[in-house]
Structure 1
Amino acid sequence: ALPRSARYALDGRGGDHREAHNVYGLEMARAGYEGLRRLRPDERPFLLSRSGWAGTQRYGGTWADGVSEGWPGLRASLSLVLGLGLCGVPYSGPDVTGSGGGASDGVSPELFLRRYQLAAWLPLFRTRAGTGPGPHEPWEFGPDVAEYARVALAERERLRPYFTTLARLARMTGAPYVRPVWWGTPEDRALRDCEDAFLLGDSLLVAPVLTPGADRRAVRLPRGRWYDTATGRAYEGPGQVLLDAPPSRVPVLARAGAVLPVRGEEGGPVLEVWAPAAGRTGGGLVVRDTGDGWEPAEIERYQSRLVDGRVVVERVTDDGTAEAGLPVRVRGL
């Protein structure tokens, strides 16, 4: 909002607002972060900034706002989250609102639900009352939307240990939570052309519904075996499959051999393991939640393999392998 004639020092060489506005956003995020640290030095600050520059990820994340309205905006918000992750900002996501659909009474129940389901699989997941008319909360769109939103939220909470692990790994390695499907095989042209699905970490492939009226959708698979997490059916990649996408959920596939930390019925962490293919091994990383302070985190490594038709899960240590030490739930056999 500042005039272009506004002047900045820019390390002594001078310049106007056209050159400095991105640095201005970055320094605002830095100032907010440092101010919070002074107020509460024992807690790790976290900021959400609407603007910034390379380095903003040091202070928190951003939300994918300002995209086009309606269904095109849903696809654009996914592209924005993927792009931010590749540019070094791993924590982002769109707001879920009941406005911005272009209709006089706000968005349709279907568009709101598909927005909600997409956001539930992204790093930043929050609802927000929009500025337009019409309903804004899941229950205001009717009992079906409310129930399907509850299912998406419950799955998000079940996967919280996995999101915690991805957050820690993003800080340690720079790898974003949300990755393009070509992440492991950038030479695969078919995967590079896929813009309507994404990997969540190494273990899950999420295929959100981005078009109205769809109850099935094609999904492009990377190489290897993938399990439909809803049905348990296995598919072999590379290739394309057609999966059910009813209003109650979006297609999500798990990589064979994946070891994911999830929340068990008692609230503690459980290892959810998807059976590896015969003759192959799998694995996964787990980083426990150490709270909101500055405590260091430890990366735990696990491997999975088939032994006489039984899935064996072990923890990998510097001295070899040991028992997993956590409850194990096997899926996909």
Structure 2
Amino acid sequence: MSKRSTRITTVRTVLSAASVAALIAASTLMATAAPASARPADRPLTDIRIATHFDLSAGQLPENISLLPDGTADVTFAASRQVAQISPRGTTRILATLPAPTDGGVNTPVLGFPLTTGIVHTADGTVYVLYATGTADLTGLWRLRPGHAPQRIAALPATGLPNGLALDARSGRFYVTDSVLGTVWTVPLSGGTPTAWSTAPELASKGFLGANGVKVHGGAVWATNLDQGTLLRIPIRPGNHAGAPQVKASGLAGIDDFAFTGRGDDVLAALNGPNTVVRIRPDGTSTTVLDAGDGLQNPTSVALRGKDVYVPSAAYTTATDPNLLRARLGGGHQ
């Protein structure tokens, strides 16, 4: 039996059958993804460690992350419909479980199971998350207020897969990537009807997942495309119109979400299939800074607060150890 077949068999024992089709597709991606450039001896990350291990059998597959000022991390668990909070000491606490679709989520595009994805929190303690179910009554942007039940504040197309979520605090607008429809949506902070902000071909999928991670940075929306292996910059024009996408980096097969290091356009990005985190320089070149030897298990996103780096791994295809890795960003990484 091949390694890939063994991996899929293992996954069947710990996740619902509805998840298997998506994981097979992801395994194919991993098998064909090109590795990133070799990791340098003078690594920009130090104090690398696995801070928290999650429960694979409970569907605790961390998909996205948002950091609070005290080092607490809010994460979405893709396969359990849950939002959780990880304390600085590594303790996991479930904040909310989103309602299950009546059909079990079998019509969720591409994946076939309900998926909790992007996450953002605001200074008042409110958490916003994306939820994809393949049903019109649940798919969209949800708001979690302390002491209140989760509430959907914006409906998104059931035929799509809302994935990445970013908030432009200056304009009070969310930007949402749709990995199936190849769209960036914009939604007011208060909720309401979404607007298709960009449907440029650079956002489209090539059969699996297209537009994925998203951030607002330097007067532009930055997004990744997992299938096309690209990092894009889309200028925000007057009147909140989308400019033409610029490909800032390419050849990054399996690129998921990412974060800016705070040094201009310098980026750390998770490459899901290849099991790596890469540093992408402003000139588009990339270097591997973390890999499976550091404990990565299909990394999904990256977050930074100061010099503290957080990398969730969902173990979608490794099916071994979903976890949260922490590291420190050194001063000599420029």
TM-score normalised per structure 1? 0.28
Quick one: higher RCO (CA 8 Å, sep 6+), 1 or 2? Answer: 2
TM-score normalised per structure 2? 0.28
Bigger proportion of residues as helix? 1
Which one has a bigger Cα radius of gyration? 1
Bigger proportion of residues as strand? 2
